[in-house]
Amino acid sequence: MLESPFFDKACTGVFKEGLEHSVDLPDEDPDTVDRFFRFLYAGNYSDGEHYDDLPSNTALIAPGPDSESPPAEDTLDYDSDGSDYMETEDGIEIDANLPLPSGWKNRAITTLYTSLRVYIMADKYDVSALKLLSGERFKRTAERLWCEYDDFPAVVDLLYGSTMSGDPLREFVCALITHQYHGDAGLRARMKPVLEKNPDFAIKLLEMMVGITTTDVALR
């Protein structure tokens, strides 16, 4: 079983959880909790999205008796064999470099929330390997499908409402939106409520747009 510093302390100390050998998580989504503990015990979790058979690199290392929890990562770098392929919930492998079948694409759009919720829970309970894996799943789905997902502003709102300033997924989402924001009036209209609600998002988006403009001017 992989380690979570939060649960290690809760279940081995003098707290109620340690004495009763049980932990209540009433504020967490049950499906997300299930995926979280599946990862802790098996080194992977299934979400019907893609890469269901791909464990985190950290998860492949069985901790020894004297080993410590891996240090938290500040980035979402993830490298693995076979990363050019994704597996649908029907068990069909698809080359990630080719256009996705329309039926699978629709299902993948709705599961963006799955990766994000797992990411948020992994961050909350300090499981860095799961944070890396779920963050990578989110990124690889979002970068191909975010323009076609009408509810993507709600995804951004959830991300900014559940993560700390400087979180790498925040940076990633802003970078996605920046390149299309100026020339897409529909995107600007959809994003306006999220920008008004989340000043950090508005500031980062503005900073990235200024950076792109400055680079374009310098190249002329």
**Could you report the per-residue pLDDT of 49-68, keeping only the tens digit for each?**
544 445 544 444 444 444 44
**pLDDT value of residue 188:** 94
Contact 109, 50 (CB under 8 A): no
**pLDDT value of residue 218:** 52
- Mean pLDDT, rounded, for 146-171: 93
Q: How confident is the model at residue 212 (pLDDT cuts 50, 70, 90)?
A: confident
Whether residue 199 is predicted with pLDDT greater than 90 in this model: the reply is: yes
**pLDDT value of residue 46:** 84
Q: How confident is the model at residue 151 (pLDDT cuts 50, 70, 90)?
A: confident
Strand ranges (DSSP E) for 6-58? Answer: none
Whether residue 148 is predicted with pLDDT greater than 70 in this model: the reply is: yes
DSSP 100: P
- Mean pLDDT, rounded, for 129-148: 92
Whether residue 105 is predicted with pLDDT greater than 70 in this model: the reply is: no
What size, in residues, is the chain? Answer: 220
CB atoms within 10 A of CB 89: 15
- Mean pLDDT, rounded, for 126-150: 91
Q: Two tokens at 220?
A: 């002329």
Q: Two tokens at 200?
A: 């950090």
**pLDDT value of residue 23:** 63
Strand ranges (DSSP E) for 60-157? Answer: 85-87, 93-95
**pLDDT value of residue 18:** 47
- Mean pLDDT, rounded, for 116-142: 94
Listed residue (24, 142, 7, 149) closest to 76, CA to CA = 142
Whether residue 155 is predicted with pLDDT greater than 90 in this model: the reply is: yes
